Amino acid sequence: MSLIERVGFADSRSELRRRINIHNALFVILVATAFLTPLAQGQEDNPPIDFSVIRTGELVQTEARVDLPVTQEIAWDVLTDYEHYPRFIASMRRSKIVSRSPQGLVVEQQGRFGFLFISQDVNVHLLVSESPKTIVEAHVVDGDLRVMDGRYELIPVGSHVRLSYSGRLVPNFTLPPIFGLSIVRHILFRNFKEMVDEILRRGAEASAESSAG
């Protein structure tokens, strides 16, 4: 093969690799869009959720808020139903209170941090403190999250209750640099929405029982 032919062959291989990379990137974007779009559409029949995620280096910060047409007691019962979280939070496999002390509860949680081709098991122990009917705060004690500070707060707003969440997260595993924030946002939003859906479900059950009575 002549020098010119070798150069031409190398150029062809380079162009092929470039097209494959573009195709793969487009495929990932399209699949990710297919997963993320239903999340936005799923809010149409439910109270709108204000949700934001910001990543600064390794730190991921989350803020969420939603007004719910339920009593504060019903929302509180769901937030503090730690051992039943796996029933309504799909990514959680286990949630168990392992000890109680004046400082709060230690809750062991096991789950899967997964989206498309990304999958990571997560095991943590959280120190959880409660201000009755109002605030739940959790801080990681040990496990696969280097930093995890979360705070739920319930505030009465007329006949509704406002559920607010703020959190800081630094995992012990590496997030993909390009799609990392989108993946994290998808997972965190899904978990929050599943919590909201359970509160709404129990609220509807309570209303039905009240009407029947």
Q: What is the pLDDT of residues 56-89, one digit of tens each?
A: 888 899 999 999 999 999 999 999 999 999 999 9
Q: Are strands 118-131 and 104-115 parallel, antiparallel or unpaired?
A: antiparallel
pLDDT reported for residue 94: 95
Counting residues of the chain whose pLDDT is more than 70, the rounded percentage is 72
Burial 182-213 (b: 16+ CB within 10 A, else e): bbbbbbbbbbbbbbbebbbebbeeeeeeeeee
pLDDT of 23 strictly over 50 = no
Paired residues of 161 in beta bridges? 68, 156
Mean pLDDT over 150-165 rounds to 96
**Strand 160-171 versus strand 59-68 pairing type:** antiparallel
* pLDDT for 143 beyond 70: yes
| Fold adopted by 42-212 | Alpha-D-Glucose-1,6-Bisphosphate; Chain A, domain 4 (3.30.530)
* pTM score: 0.77
Q: Can you give the pLDDT at residue 96?
A: 97
Query: Quick one: pLDDT band at residue 7, thresholds 50, 70, 90?
Result: very low
Mean pLDDT value across residues 44-53: 85
